[in-house]
Structure 1
Amino acid sequence: MFASKNNWMIILSMTVVACSQKTEKAPVKWPDAQAPLADIKPHNRTIHGDTVVDNYYWLNDFFKKGPDSANVVKYLEAENAYTQQMMAGTEDFQQKLFDEMKSRIKEKDESVPYFYNGYYYYNRTEEGKQYYKLCRKKGSLDAAEEILLDVDKMAEGKPYYAIGGSSVSPDNKLLVYGVDEVSRREYVLHIKNLETGEVYKDRIERTSGSATWAADNKTIFYTSKNPVTLLSEKIKRHTLGTDARTDVVVYDEKDNTNYIGVGKSKDGKYIFIYSQNTMSSEVRYLQSNMPNGEFKLFQARMKDVLYDVTPLEDRFLIVTNVDGAKNFKVMETALDKTTKENWKDFIPHRADVLVQGIDEFKDFLVVSERKNGLTNLSIRSLRDNSVHDLDFGEAAFTVYPSVNAEYNTDVVRYGYTSMVTPSSTFDYNMRTKEKTLLKQQEVLGGYNSEDYVTERTFATVTDGTKVPISLVYKKETKKDGSAPLFLYAYGSYGSSMDPTFSSIRLSLLDRGFIYAIAHIRGGEEMGRQWYEDGKMMKKINTFTDFIDCGKYLIENKYTSKGHLYAEGGSAGGLLMGAVINMAPDLWNGVIAAVPFVDVVNTMLDETIPLTTNEYDEWGNPNNKEAYEYMKSYSPYENIEAKEYPNLLVTTGLHDSQVQYFEPAKWVAKLRTMKKGDNVILLKTDMDFGHGGASGRFDYLKDQALEWAFILKLEGITQ
């Protein structure tokens, strides 16, 4: 899946006032630079009797290791040079934006420590350092600090460096952790002795990045990936000191549409293997003190049934949509009777409440829910079954369980944020109902939430559905149509884009922008049906929802034509590609970050990472009906000779989620077909993948480029 000197602030405030009063702006002046044109090399795709000519198929060759591999790199470098030329006049402004955003971040900081198995664990960051240190203290926060991983030191000299999951053995002596140095989410597992500091010779490659300890302190279970498709295919068992090539496969997933993983219950008694696609799931379990035993099947996968398992002392709880429970419910079953016929309702299905998950404690259950499009935490006593909800007091907010590693406690830790409230961590005593604020994100430079306003409104879209929109802006920003507005959305995989705080966003708000999130279908904000109405053969709802939200914001004077901007990333980049085909004149500028825009070709190629996992989201184009439907909206397939908005496209050469060639092909085709003078810029990170740079400040350079692009289009230059 964003402080400056006083005299500069005075100049800025004058600029904001001036910009907010006008609806007409001078044409943007761009350098007289020649955009690169990719070579045309026709390639025919024929399926279901339909032949399509793809002139830019050759841009796949770096990924496929084909004959044009070197030419692909040359083309991407030419695009980067063109983007740099076109944005050259904003370089000083980009630096100012970078410094401004960085200055709001507290460089020397520390996470809220959490207690687990006798130790307090936390991360801390240091002044000027890009990464962090993973630390712990034994028994008391006054104890001596142990640095488990010095990621700042480990990452030295590396263009990209990311730690996956890290897990301490039950006896507190060993640490297993994953390392990715390429940005393809393919991790090498290492094991470190925390008493001696030695990193063992055990080296486990091509993993998902985390591992689960058995109770014997010498056995770990991990997820192994296919080296080509990067699919999670096998769960393996590794014994310390042995050659990873001899690791035992304890589970082999035969369905290439499923994701798999392994984890341990909070009470430490069970290890679970999960296998799931969009529409069905399956769980296996093993007692953690019997690592060489056979995993037992909890319940065989059922068509269109998802379920997740949580053990209590005397039973299993199951979060599931079985028996038509569209918004999920919680069921229970005996520890020795796990199949469906034994399941009984514990929290019945409710049509107006989506159950998203549960956190178990010895005496309490915390249920993460969604009501009226907003998140909620419901506390249930396991002793007397009494229930109460937490109260938050804002119109639009996000609440979520934080790190809750301890099982024997009455305290749940949760995070809270809104579009004006910085991220906050609370401890809540479920027995006494006392709430304690432990930490709120510190925004340097004097941020005052009272200077900003957050709203929640609803746009009635084409089919009569009411789509929520969350907004934030400075108090003095006028809602008379004169303000520029930046609209963001995602709209896929049931992933909800909840209203949260961003210090990066202040660089737009303080320059007179309104920032809005459209909670369109394809997410799960309004329940499971909201997701199902924006996927597969209903995917176009996602795009029309976003367009209608944009029109609503113009009609209701939040902004006006020529001042509306949009961004989406990954599947949200698909959204951007679709809406500029469907309503190109609605947007003045669009940012498409790592965009999934070549839907048909990608879904037809099972060698591309993650393709087969996505069939239940988009459809399988080997099916004629699915092929024709996705072809009807796929951005790459539907480019026409018309005026498109100004466009900034970003990608990463090593992206494992959306391969670089999708945006590259899209830009190449747009260049040859578009009309008018609006610009199209493509920026490829040659060292990184889907998430961009790994350092905690480096990504701000990319953000500065994006903000500078939008602000240039709006005529704001400082």
Structure 2
Amino acid sequence: MPRSQTTQTPPVAHFRRSDDPDWHWLESRDDPQVKAFLRAANRESDAFFAPLKALEDALYDGHLARRELKVTGLPTTLERFRYWSETAADADYPLWWRQARDGDTAPELLLDLEARSQAHDFLELGDMAISSDEQWLAWTEDASGNEYFDLYLKRLPDGEPQRLRRRIGPDLVWAEDNRTLLFTRYDATQRPASVWLLRPEDDHCQKIFEEADVEFWVGLGKTRSRQWLVLETASKDTSECHLIPATAPRTAPACVRPRETGVEYTLEHRDDVFYVLHNRDGSHFRLDTAPVSQSDSWTPLVPHREDVTLEGVDAFSWGVVVTERDHHEAQVYLRVIERSEADPARNAAGAGGLPGSRLPLPEAPCSLALGDTPDFHTRKLLLREESFTLPVRWVEHDLDSGEQRVLKTQPLYGDLQPDDLVCRRLWAEGHDGERIPVSVVARADRLGQVPMPTLLYGYGAYGEVLDPWFSIARLELLSRGVAFAVAHVRGGGDRGEPWYLAGKLEHKENSFRDFLAARQALVAEGIADPERIAAYGASAGGLLVGASLNLEPEAFCAAVLDVPFVDVLRTMENPDLPLTTAEYTEWGNPDEPAVRRRIRDYSPLDNLTAQPYPSVLLQGSWHDSRVPYWEPAKLYARMTELDSARGPVLLRTDMAAGHGGASGRFKAWRDNARQDAFILWALGRDAV
């Protein structure tokens, strides 16, 4: 329904300020008119969705009917107990339980998030940490959506929770003395900038590390060997690790190797050896070993390769598991390297060949990852597998026999099962001749028969990978004859580190051109109906879609921009905002004139003109600290003033959520159903 056909005057007309044509006044959170404007826009959106209520309900009910609502998580075993979560069929949040490994005692309730959520409109668990003697549980939770967390402690199994600290970072780690807890604090811009040591028994608390460089964030970890606490400080392209003996947490952190601009490294530990994954001598990363006694002396184990990026390393008593990505296939693999192959003496002797072997894939393309495996000595790996057509499943892989056993599969009910779906991988030709992977999933009886209404999804920033993922909610679109496609554009990590580097900073425009090339490939292959293609992007994906609309506004019939990063230039010019300074290595520092011009040339808000934009649904969150609510709000206001769109421009702001949207699963599913109703309406598939 084009805006020209509506009878209501848009809220923009009532809230326009002649002295502020750019709507910057919306950034004044304390101005009561801001909330009034957002609520008026929500009412306008409600009026649009009212005729689609039956469709929204059908999507929501259909989604619930396809999934198992009562969910029991896969247990994780520590020294004495097995731990798992349970979510009741009518609950939004899980309960966490444990039971003695021998099963001779009754289960103990550790944490009831459903009960804790009753006092809040929003609740998100940040981190959970159980002491090594399994006598203490610490956790962080965010009760507003602004990503400030409070720290709680509980004596297990039934002690009363105590709130120890407010407004800290999410990360927690216990030292191996069972008395000391480490956590992070933010600076004034909500940057995790310091690490603190807390001894709950006497509330002794002291800062043990602080990162002064505003482009660097601090994180916490512990090696699987449980011998080292790891303090990692990193920007978008440089990192540095500091170590503390886990049994002596008051020891001053020791730097593994001083930072070098552009060099990223991470490490794991086994026996007297560190395994260091780094890009010091090649952008695709290599794996080295280093003696604990000389941690800055690195010897190659897995060499740098031109066609593979190494993404992670996990150490066990018997060797290591390396996560690697094949550039040609845009596919992730797990490489197992046994102790004899990972022996530093082997490297020094100059043994040739690539060590280890890859684990088999369930299908390709797919997602494959090492699951939660805290046991340092286990030879049975827990694998997490899924694809666009394969629901999530957890598989136990026996390293000794090579046998695999499925432990748990996400149940799926209803008339559309994995065998009814098909996935295809296309290769679009980019504006510069580059090959862009495009994944498509649809009903097997529809794909390739006639051009289909299509939803095209993209992200394309920070090196994030869009490996195949299964979505039960997506089945509601597929069942109605819609194809779902993913554009694996440059700026993401789908084809390794070079793919990321080719879509950031001065190469950012490649991301937008790749997205449009993916759209053209879907049409050229006869998959997508050119008149019925909708685009979806969230956060930095909102930038991707917003910039693409400015380049080719008639390429799509509709677009959903969820918490979209669309005011890029103004945000990057404000170092007081959360994230800004840490983002300079991703987008550039606009204090440099050439960088400012470059960002100005693609920032969606700065490039709006009176063009025939498609129907647009913009979604924001009041407590969002990553992409403030005012970015989608300003885009909505200025697009509405242009009055050139071919359909409605709508804004919905969740006044009780943060960057990730609603925290309760039922509200999140309801929001998804409303969003999908908009997509189906735009694609001409809105019949209930």
Which of the five TM-score ranges fits, normalised by the shorter chain?
A: over 0.9
Instruction: State whether residues 568 and 592 of structure 1, in contact with CA within 8 Å, keep that contact through their aligned partners in structure 2.
Output: yes
1:130 aligns with 2:65: no
Q: 1:384 to 1:527 in 2, by over 3 A?
A: closer
2:334 maps to which of 367, 373, 377: 377
Q: Shift of residue 310 of structure 1?
A: 0.8
Give 1:674 deviation, angstroms: 3.7
Amino acid corresponding to residue 485 of structure 2 in structure 1? A
Q: Distance in 1 between matches of 2:6 and 2:339?
A: 67
Asked if 1:649 is matched to 2:621, the reply is no
Say if 1:196 and 1:549 are closer, same or farther in 2 by CA, change over 3 A: closer
Contact preservation (8 Å) 1:40, 1:55: no
Matches of 1:465 and 1:277 in 2, distance apart? Answer: 28
Match in the other structure for 1:554: 523
Tell whether the 8 Å contact from 1:481 to 1:554 is kept in structure 2 after alignment: no
> Deviations for 1:683-718, whole angstroms, at most 9, x for unmatched residues?
000111111111122101111111111111222221
For the Cα contact (< 8 Å) 1:164–1:180, is it kept in 2? yes
Question: 1:237: which partner in 2?
Answer: 197
The answer to whether the aligner puts 1:188 opposite 2:170 as a matched pair is no
Specify the code of the residue in structure 1 equivalent to 2:186.
Answer: K
Q: Take 1:198 and 1:441, find their aligned partners in 2: how far apart are those partners?
A: 34
Is contact 2:458–2:545 with CA below 8 Å preserved after alignment? Answer: no
Q: 1:34 to 1:28 in 2, by over 3 A?
A: closer
Render the CA deviation track for 1:521-569: whole Å, top value 9, x for unaligned: 0011111110000001100000000011101111221112211111010
Distance in 2 between residues matched to 1:159 and 1:277, nearest whole Å:
33
Distance 1:27 1:55 in 2: 24
Q: Is the 8 A contact 1:28 1:712 kept in 2?
A: no
Flag structure 2 segments of 5+ consecutive residues without an equivalent: 343-354
Report matched runs for 1:25-104 at 5 Å. 32-37=7-12, 39-41=15-17, 55-62=22-29, 65=30, 69-104=31-66
Aligned to 2:128: 166
Is the aligned partner of 1:605 residue 2:574? yes
Once the two structures are TM-superposed, the CA of residue 642 in structure 1 deviates from its matched residue by: 1.3
Q: CA deviation at 1:414?
A: 1.0
Matched position secondary structure for 2:597 = helix
Residues 322 and 93 (structure 1 numbering): CA distance in 2 closer, same or farther, change over 3 Å? same
Q: CA deviation at 1:425?
A: 0.3
Which 5+ residue runs of structure 1 have no aligned equivalent?
1-25, 44-52
> CA offset at residue 579 of structure 1?
0.6
Say which is worse superposed, 145-154 or 629-638, in terms of deviation.
145-154
TM alignment of 1:284-363, pairs within 5 A: 284-323=242-281, 325-339=282-296, 342-363=297-318
SS of 2:169 mapped into structure 1: strand
Tell which deviates more after alignment, 478-487 or 420-429: 478-487
Which residue identity is paired with 2:221?
G
AA of the residue aligned to 2:475: L
**Which of 251, 257, 266 lines up with 2:215 in the alignment?**
257
Aligned mates of 1:454, 1:549 — CA distance in 2: 16
Question: How many equivalent pairs are there?
Answer: 672
Alignment CA distance shift 1:54-1:219 (3 Å): farther
For 1:107, which of 69, 83, 90 is the aligned residue? Answer: 69
Residue identity opposite 1:479 in structure 2:
G
Bigger mean CA offset, 97-106 vs 537-546? 97-106
Give the counterpart letter for 1:215 in structure 2.
Answer: E
Amino acid at match of 1:531: Y
Give how far 1:571 is off: 0.1
Residue 481 of structure 1, CA deviation: 4.9
CA distance in 1, matches of 2:166, 2:241: 25
Give distance in 1, aligned partners of 2:447 and 2:319.
Answer: 47
Query: Does the aligned pair in 2 maintain the 1:643–1:674 contact within 8 Å?
Result: no
Aligned CA distance change for structure 1 residues 377 and 429 (closer, same or farther; 3 Å): same
1:486 alignment counterpart? 455
Alignment partners' CA distance in 1, 2:583 and 2:230: 23
What residue number does 1:49 align with?
A: none
Aligned AA (1:59): L
Give secondary structure in 2 for the equivalent of 1:523.
Answer: coil
Q: Trace 1:179-578 onto structure 2 (pairs within 5 A).
A: 179-200=141-162, 202-226=163-187, 228-243=188-203, 247-323=205-281, 325-339=282-296, 342-371=297-326, 372-385=329-342, 387-479=356-448, 481-578=450-547
The aligned amino acid for 2:193 is E
Q: What is the DSSP-based 3-state SS (H/G/I as helix, E as strand, rest coil) of the residue aligned with 2:128? A: strand
| Aligned counterparts of 2:293 and 2:224: Cα–Cα separation in 1 | 19
> Offset of 1:135 from its aligned partner?
1.1
Deviates more, 1:689-698 or 1:632-641: 689-698
Per-residue deviation, residues 559-587 of structure 1 (Å, max 9, x unmatched): 12211111010000011110110010010
- What is the deviation of 1:461? 1.1
Matched, 1:177 2:139: yes
* Structure 1 residues 452 and 588, CA gap change in structure 2 (3 angstroms): same
CA distance in 1 between partners of 2:419 and 2:413 (Å): 16
8 Å contact from structure 1 (residues 652, 684) kept in 2? yes
Spell out, residue by residue over 1:66-124, the C-alpha distance to the aligned partner (whole angstroms, 9 max, x if none): xxx11110000010000001111011211121111122221112111121122211111
Pair 1:619-2:588 in alignment:
yes
- Name the aligned partner's letter for residue 317 of structure 1: Y
Change (3 A) 1:152 1:532: same
Q: With structure 1 as the length reference, what TM-score do the two structures score?
A: 0.91
C-alpha contact (below 8 Å) 1:28/1:715 kept by paired residues: no
Whole-Å separation in 2 of the counterparts to 1:679 and 1:168: 50
Q: What is the CA distance between 1:317 and its match in structure 2?
A: 0.8
Deviation at 1:29, TM superposition (A): 11
- Give the TM-score, by structure 2 length: 0.95
* Aligned residues of 1:212 and 1:264 also touching (Cα < 8 A): yes
Measured in 2, the distance between the counterparts of 1:643 and 1:566 equals 15
Distance apart, 1:225 and its partner CA: 1.2
